[in-house]
Amino acid sequence: MGLKWFTYRFIFVCLLCFGLTANAQVGFDNIIQIDGVTMTADSLRAVPDVTVLVRNKNRGVESGYMGVFSIVCYKGDTLEFSCIGYRPKQYVIAKDLPGNLYSMVQLMVQDTFYLPETIIKPLPSKEEFNYAFENWHIPNDQYELARRNTNAYVLRALSYTLPRDGREAQARLQQEQARAAVYYGQQQPMNILNPIAWGQFFEAWKRGDFRRQNNPFRASY
């Protein structure tokens, strides 16, 4: 019984080692390194910066200045060649390709782009140029818009017209509560005898704030 069990175990181990060796050999034979060069189809000039991708593998390389590239992939993969100004190409690696090294020359065909026609005409006369230079409205760029939005007069006008948000309203309420807490148990002073309030009143009067519409001082006096 012990000899038979040992024989079966030895045969199983041998078969397992043989299977792992065969799979490793098959996997190594399936890998191939491709060294190639990308050239133009009409003049055989080197095409640099060609992107060589393995389809559905998210792997790839880029040809150098002389169009030379090298990539490692599996037999049966599809290589995709793309470059600006040239038509995309595909190359399917044969599964029964012998060996693990392969050299190739990929020819790239130039692609023509047709752009819409643009006609540039000069202004007819010097007078029309002067009129256009003085009256044409050129839209502001982002820097000019940012400069105008941070202008002191614009910010002051916004501070008078925009309502307070929740944080400002809470701060204002807390200030009023703190000011009222100072006079708990006693009579609050009247602003009619406050020299600071009278000074602010005369300054606003000199500026003419009471003659303007939507005056922010009207709510206080």
Domains of the chain: 2-108 (2.60.40.1120), 126-187 (no CATH)
Q: For residues 186 and 86, what is the distance between their CA atoms, to the nearest angstrom?
A: 90
Residue 5 is predicted with a pLDDT of 46
Asked if 60 and 54 touch (Cβ cutoff 8 Å), the reply is yes
* 90 pLDDT higher than 90: yes
Starting at the edge strand found earlier in the chain, the sheet holding 101-108 runs: 68-74, 31-40, 101-108
The predicted model gives 64-79 an average pLDDT of 92
Out of 26-35, 69-78, 155-164, the most confident range is 69-78
Residue 107: pLDDT band by 50, 70, 90 thresholds?
A: very high
* Rounded average pLDDT over 191-210: 79
Q: What order of strands is seen across the sheet that includes strand 78-83?
A: 59-62, 51-54, 78-83, 86-92
Helix (H) or strand (E) holding 39: strand 31-40
Given a cut of 90, is residue 47 above it in pLDDT?
A: yes
Burial class, 132, CB count within 10 angstroms (exposed 0-12 / middle 13-18 / buried 19+): exposed
- Winning range, highest mean pLDDT, from 21-35, 38-52, 198-212: 38-52
**Predicted pLDDT at 160:** 78
> What pLDDT is stored for residue 21 in this prediction?
47
Phi, psi of 188 (to 5 degrees): -75, 140
Collapsing DSSP to helix, strand or coil, 72 comes out as strand
Name the least confident of 27-36, 173-182, 186-195. 186-195
Residue 24 has pLDDT above 80, yes or no: no
Contact of 78 with 92, CB cutoff 8 Å: yes
Least confident of 19-33, 52-66, 72-86, 175-189: 19-33
What's this model's pTM, rounded to 2 decimal places?
Answer: 0.43
